[in-house]
Copies of this chain bind each other. A is one copy, B any other.
Amino acid sequence: MKEDIFQSANNLLKGNIWLDALFGIEKENIRVDIDGKLAQTPHPTVFGNKLKHPYITTDFSESQVEMITPPLPDIKQTIGFLETVHDIVSLELTDEYLWPQSIPPILPDDEQIPIAQYDEEGKAAQHYREFLAKKYGAKNQLISGIHFNLSYSEKLLEVLYHKINPSLSYEEFKDEVYLKTVRQMLRLRWLYVLLYGDSPVVDSSLELKCKLAPYTINNHVVALSIRNSCYGYRNISDLYPDYSSVTNFRSSVEQMVKDQQITSFKELYSPVRPKFMKSPEHISYIELRFIDIDPLTKAGITEEELSFLHALTLYGLLSKEPDCFNAEAQAKANRYYGCVALYGLDAVPCMFEQEGEQTNIWHKAKTLIQEVITLFEELGIDKSEYPDSLSHAMQLTKHPEKRKVHEVLNGVHTIGYIPYHLKKAKDYLLESQQKNYNFIGLEDMELSTQLLLREAVRRGISFDIMDRKENFIRLEKEGNIQYVKQATKTSLDNYASILAMENKLVTKRILKEHGIRVPKGEEYTHAETAKADFIRFQGLSVVIKPNQTNFGTGITILKENRNETTFQRAVDIAFEHDSTILIEEFVEGKEYRFFVMRDKVVGILHRVPANVAGNGIQSIRELVHLKNEDPLRGKGYRTPLEKIQLGEAEAIFLQAQHKTFDYIPMAGEIVYLRENSNISTGGDSIDFTDDIPDSYKQIAIQAAQALNVSITGLDMIIPDYRKEASKDNYAIIELNFNPAIHIHCHPFKGENRKLNEKLIDALGYKPV
């Protein structure tokens, strides 16, 4: 056996750089009908071409949805991505659910199991599935699971290569890294299954065959992980590839194909597989295939479990390999693995043979986990998810009854296999419906961007996050590459128009020249000149504001400009924020946000201050709590609306109305808790898209055209929207070049205007 170049690598490098990696997940979920029977409907057409959608496709069966994440640098984000894909799929199903269990639901006979259908281009894929159905049986193919793809980061590998300085090329070195990881994970996988295996029961409609005697309860096979056991889906005969080098691996598998044991590489159902992507010569990543779907979570997998698995791969890479990994060693590893899967619920018969001695499996598990913990301490890893996951795993070895599989078994015993899982599926759908605006794992990004990314996933548009803090993303499908920042900063607008919108003075002048009404006003660069113009604005309602501001700072509104001293003070305040200020006529009326996209008004919104509507029974305090239960309301801009606060500001505002939080408003009485209508202080957003007459919309469109802009959030004052627009019963305040879309998608009142869909259309992606 070759020298192990990794054996003391743990001394060469310290810190969290060891965790640098890319993580991807593939998950299959079977679609079931309301009775928990395999759905006989086609894969939702909204997801388009099965061969091309990067995130949503089918596996063996037409009813088996396969959800795929791209490789992502963070486990949490990867699971969030997976869960979001899960949500998106769920929301497209009608009277169907995603079955939250690796072991299938009620199945019809083999011939009634619909094999995935493809168009002409996908005929090869379809024929392969037909061949599999014949060779392994269609029912077996429906055992579903999760594949975890892992690649160490180039950064980690480069540093490691540099530190170890082996007599290998960098590419050869990487192959060695992955081959050792594969061999070790084939040896260590039993530990994961022991702790997290979770496919304990089989419905009698699934006819399983296994040469080992199963436990049965009420005619159901019961085990820790049926999917990973001899009942699971596996090659017909035991196959032992040669993992000593890439060349040996490839030729050993080719030999199996020659021997007609399998038809191609992909038919080798090894629980751990090296994967070749960029070239057939070198390994790109590894695939861990022994993960059962967790029925207790919507995503089917948790961060804790994957962190544990990731820790295990690093342990595998850096620890000593016990012996060479020939067919005999592989067979031995397989036996333990199969044994744990089948008998691991209590695991009495599974003992480890080590140098002649037999070791209790729980003892061995503890020892192993302790070694991983010690390694991670040595490496100086302080990312809490890892020590936490290891310590939880240790807990499970001490209290095996706390393993999730036991909760699932309890549930199954109480209400039955199908009802239990069906209830879970329905709960998860409700969750998906309620939180239908987030991109899970990317909640730190703006809601508008999250909504855009959700739509990208739905439409099969690949995306990359170019700069997460900046909400800068790249979309790509069929050669159409689009860079987008903050959802509405796109290639659809030219830079000059953006700059014109950014400058209130310029905007106003252009609009005015196009005959569009803007508040009468003037620009000043000297405080004295502005102050001297008091006379021109005397008696009018005026706004005094800095030329460039997006946050409302430095703005004063004088309802009736009569006091010269107040006017002068307001001028000084505005000049504190910009060297150019505007004094403008203040137009009375309500302000509406018109979202204009490519010469169409696609949404109109009006905002009202935080308020509750009385029912004559409950107090303001109670009504606020009730209103805050809306899943659209949250804290810290992670939701379309913010929770109404019961703070000092609200108390003072109520006090001015001679009310307290304990006041009980009459039925129908609206009590406002804030003066300002900002969403951030609990304000409501009300959709007016269908209420505002077309005449106003035409003006908004003309304004957008005057500035030659594709996307704008235009603020218009309208005194009474029930009257048609005339020459002077409106005024345009400004055009925003980065309008939010989420407020139009998830308003407090009114329908979802789906601006994320419309924006994706506008960016040139084919509508679904």
* Interface residues in chain A, defined as those with a beta carbon under 8 Å from any beta carbon in chain B: 13, 15-17, 155, 158-159, 466-467, 469-470, 472, 482-485, 489-500, 503, 505-506, 509, 522, 525, 529, 532-533, 535-536, 579-580, 708, 737
Contact = CB atoms under 8 A, between A and B. Distances in A.
Given A505-B467, A506-B467, A491 B484 contact: no
A309 B472 CA distance: 58
Nearest to A466: B506
A479 B723 CA distance: 35
Nearest to A468: B525
Contacts of A737: 495
Contact of A495 (B489, B522, B533): B489
Contacts of A580: 467, 469
Contacts of A509: 466
15 contacts: A15-B532, A17-B532, A158-B536, A159-B536, A467-B580, A469-B525, A470-B503, A472-B499, A472-B503, A483-B496, A489-B496, A490-B494, A492-B494, A495-B495, A498-B498
Given A491-B495, A495-B498, A497-B483, A467 B503 contact: yes
Given A155-B536, A159-B536, A532-B17, A499 B525 contact: no
A578 to B, nearest CB: 10
| Majority secondary structure, A binding face | mixed
A469 B579 contact: yes
Contact of A494 (B469, B494, B499, B505): B494
Contacts of A496: 482-485, 489-491
Q: Max chain B CB contacts within 10 Å: which of A17, A483, A509, A522?
A: A483
B467 A483 contact: no
A472 B504 CA distance: 12
Given A491-B494, A491-B495, 4 more contacts: A17-B532, A158-B536, A469-B579, A493-B495
A518 B490 CA distance: 25
Contacts of A499: 472, 483, 485, 489
A467 B493 CA distance: 21
A533 B533 CA distance: 60
B525 A500 contact: no
Contacts of A17: 532-533
A271 to B, nearest CB: 34
Nearest to A488: B495
Nearest to A13: B535
A158 B491 CA distance: 43
A492 to B, nearest CB: 7
A14 to B, nearest CB: 8
Nearest to A533: B17
A496 B710 CA distance: 13
Contacts of A532: 15-17
Nearest to A17: B532
Given A494-B494, A495-B489, A708-B491, A483 B500 contact: yes
Q: Max chain B CB contacts within 10 Å: which of A15, A466, A469?
A: A466
Contacts of A500: 466, 472, 483
A398 B117 CA distance: 105
A490 B495 contact: yes
A500 B466 CA distance: 9
Nearest to A707: B483
A495 B763 CA distance: 13
Contacts of A13: 535
Contacts of A506: 466-467, 472, 483
Nearest to A494: B491
Contacts of A472: 499-500, 503, 506
Contacts of A535: 13, 159
A493 B490 contact: no
Contacts of A522: 155
A753 to B, nearest CB: 23
A708 B482 CA distance: 10
A467 B505 CA distance: 8
A491 B737 CA distance: 15
A472 B508 CA distance: 14
A678 B499 CA distance: 28
Q: Max chain B CB contacts within 10 Å: which of A155, A494, A495?
A: A495
A346 B490 CA distance: 72
A582 to B, nearest CB: 12
